[in-house]
Amino acid sequence: MNRATAKHLIERYFRQLTEGCGNGNCTNEFCASCCDFQPLDNNAAAAKALELFKINAKLCDPHPSKTESNLSPDKNTELDSKMSNTDLFPPKDDFSDVHYLTENTVCMILSFCEEEGDYSALIRIIGRVFSNAEALVKSFRKDEQNATDNIESLTPEDVDKHEKQSQGTSETMGAASQAALSVEPPGNEMFDPCDVTVDIGAVRRVYDKLLTISQVESALVNALVYLTPNIELDLEYLDVYETNPDYLNIFIIVMENTNLHSPEYLEVALAQFCKAMTKLPVTALSRLSKLWSTYSLPHLRRMMETFQQLITFTVISNEYDTENLVNDDETVVAATQCLKVVFYASILGGDVDREHNEEEEEDSESDELTLHELLGEERLYKKGPQVDPLEKELGVRPLDSIRPLIPFDDFVNEPLNDVVEMDKDFTFFKVNAETKFSFQSCPFILSIITKSQGLYYDNRIRMYSERRLTALYSMVQGQQPNPYLKLKVRRDHIIDDALVRLEMISMENPSDLKKQLFVEFEGEQGVDEGGVSKEFFQLVLEEIFNPDIGMFTYDDNTKLFWFNSSSLENEAQYNLIGIVLGLAIYNNCILDVHFPMVVYRKLMGKKGTYLDLSDSHPVLYQSLKGLLEYTGNVEEDMMLTFQISHTDLFGNPVFYDLKEQGDQLPVTKDNRQEFVDLYADYILNKSVERQFRAFKKGFLMVTNESPLKYLFRPEQVELLICGSRKLDFEELEKTTEYDGGYSKDTQIIKDFWETIHSFGDEQKRLFLQFTTGTDRAPVGGLGKLKMIIAKNGSDTDRLPTSHTCFNALLLPEYSSKEKLRERLLKAITYAKGFGML
């Protein structure tokens, strides 16, 4: 639409609002002749006229009773009586002056095309604008309405200089019509990260109209294919974002297309777009993430699913192996990096706690060269978790998330996890991070099973490294090499023996804790291939968590342990349990530990808060929640002060002031939130500070150089340490292997599985403990446990035996199902200790 036509239409709306159409029975709510119309002054009518023009509102025809003298005697009046629909919607050639789009422009062109029954003009304009970066940057601006201010002197030749306030009504209307179509919005020099210049609502409404037309869909796909290589070059070599932050508008507008996940885009267009998006600087990606965090859940989820769809489509359309790695697929890598922006938007848009962080213990750096550095391996063994640049720019971590908009598990892409070669990916992550992409740099997309494989490689390489260093040191010093962390303990004095040995190691040479664990029980013949270590951990935990020792308190309702703030044990005992937890992760052992989630959050660096009380101290949590929700007079009805009390180890009351002179400060409606926060801080942090600091110190002695904190969330760390209590023996049966003449079709094997499936939960756990050394399933469930059942002779009265190191069950070929059940139950019920068979 040309400027003269737009100007004339706006002026018609203005006269309709101020003078009416002359029809006394008019029902148009936007006409002054309507009986329900509220009169407007000239300024209000001018603004309203522009608004009606944008939405293509109803325009009344002049009523015959309205005489010429009542109309403005200018050229526009004459034009009014002569204009036809063809004049209002000129031929398609006149759209050549549309250099960028507004919602109103699209609506007008769409109306013209619908009337003509030909969408070629619309398709041509959409293709032209959406394939041109400069045109798209200027399109759908928020400021197109504000651009009508101070525009008395606007001319077609000088439309972007606004100097004087509009005076006359006709001047205002003429300027407005020109501004609506041709004013180039000014650049946004000073901008807030979320203060983008795109009118997102207008973009969505335009897409709603356009995407119903199949020809337009093709034009958008082709335009995106043409656009993306150009913006990729602009971003990579011309640094266009630094000179014009509004360049981000392109990505905002394109991502509002709700059909991006369709096959037409997945083949080429979306893949190219993702590659271009990865060229944006971190500041731009941060701005994009902050903007998307303000979106509603359906819009954010749609974008997440768009990138996930591209990753899945690409993965299943290609074949990957050790030579052709998925890490080298540019489309998958780019889509994963784009998905990261949505991931952090989901965190920012949900409930976040950026405060309440534990103080990090800084390692003392030495100026001396380490042996790793002398061997040129310092990159492989660099300390400390990596920090993602986008995470640093946003100032938020996954650990800070209380509840994201989109659940974390929805970001995991299973088809991708199936094809990632974690041994290669680990090498890229640790050594070639600058030149090769590692999916561990985007851990949100990896399942806990895949990440645990990466952690396994990290742990094993450190073990081999310590073994090699020990050999080098022994050669230099002429001593007997000791490549393992050897613990020789007495079964009846396991805590004393383990505590003394581990305390000596932690003081003399903490790096020995990173050697492979090798446990020997005094007086027993078992050789530790993993099974003896499992029993060592079990016995240590049984002893330490014994309520009679008093290191931990036990809640009968939650079945969870918590640190005893009144414990008389020294810090070395807590240090030991921290080391044991670290060693369990390091040596890939599962422990029967029952801690609330807040323990793992604190280990990862967050302090406990009021919300954490829900599982660690549920009774107290309900009491404090009741206080916060109480609608009566808190001070008079509750009669609480900022002094609290609890009982010590001997049942004596212990008083503690949450604030200075707390017994004199009543809890009121105004300060009850502060009371609750201080109470939770005392229970979860201050009261157990000594015990937990020693516990965490022991844990970090083993894991301080591990990527554990970078890769895993607190709930995943719990799963690594404790395994899963969900036992699916159907999955175990599917993955079990047979040896010595047995197969899944052997009668004794059929009887065996029928017997196992008939067991109760407790008997199943005993069997798992007997066979594998733990009654928990590993990460991924029992289907990931490779159990072997081997034939151990013909019918006999001997009991079944097991190699817990190898998850192997040695099963004689009993003569009946009843005898099999009796022998197996006796074996799993009374099993303890190791011997040589």
Active site residues: 805
Pairing relationship of beta strands 737-739 and 808-811 according to DSSP bridges: unpaired
Q: Which two tokens stand for residue 270?
A: 């979306």
Q: Which residues have CB under 8 Å from 701's CB, separation 6+? A: 506, 510, 513, 578, 579, 582
Pairing relationship of beta strands 560-563 and 653-657 according to DSSP bridges: unpaired
Q: Which two tokens stand for residue 812?
A: 């004689």
745, 632 Cβ separation under 8 angstroms = no
Q: Which residues have CB under 8 Å from 829's CB, separation 6+? A: 766
Element (H or E) spanning 655, and its range?
Answer: strand 653-657
133, 118 Cβ separation under 8 angstroms = no
Distance between CA atoms of residues 139 and 182, nearest Å: 11
Distance between CA atoms of residues 648 and 666, nearest Å: 25
579, 699 Cβ separation under 8 angstroms = yes
In the chain, how long is the greatest CA-to-CA distance? 120
HEC string for 59-107: CCCCCCCCCHHHCCCCHHHHHHHHCCHHHHCCCHHHHHHCCCCCHHHHH
129, 152 Cβ separation under 8 angstroms = no
Distance between CA atoms of residues 691 and 653, nearest Å: 20
Q: Which amino acid is at 628?
A: L
Q: Hey, which residues does 803 pair with through a beta bridge?
A: 808
Burial letters for 519-548: b for 16+ Cβ neighbours within 10 Å, e otherwise? bbbeeeebebebbbbbbbbbbbbebbbeee
Residue carrying the six token digits 């976040």: 352
Three-state secondary structure call for residue 95: helix
305, 261 Cβ separation under 8 angstroms = yes
Q: How far is CA 357 from the centre of its chain?
A: 19
Q: Which residues have CB under 8 Å from 162's CB, separation 6+? A: 147, 149, 150, 151, 154
814, 823 Cβ separation under 8 angstroms = yes
Q: Which amino acid is at 114?
A: E
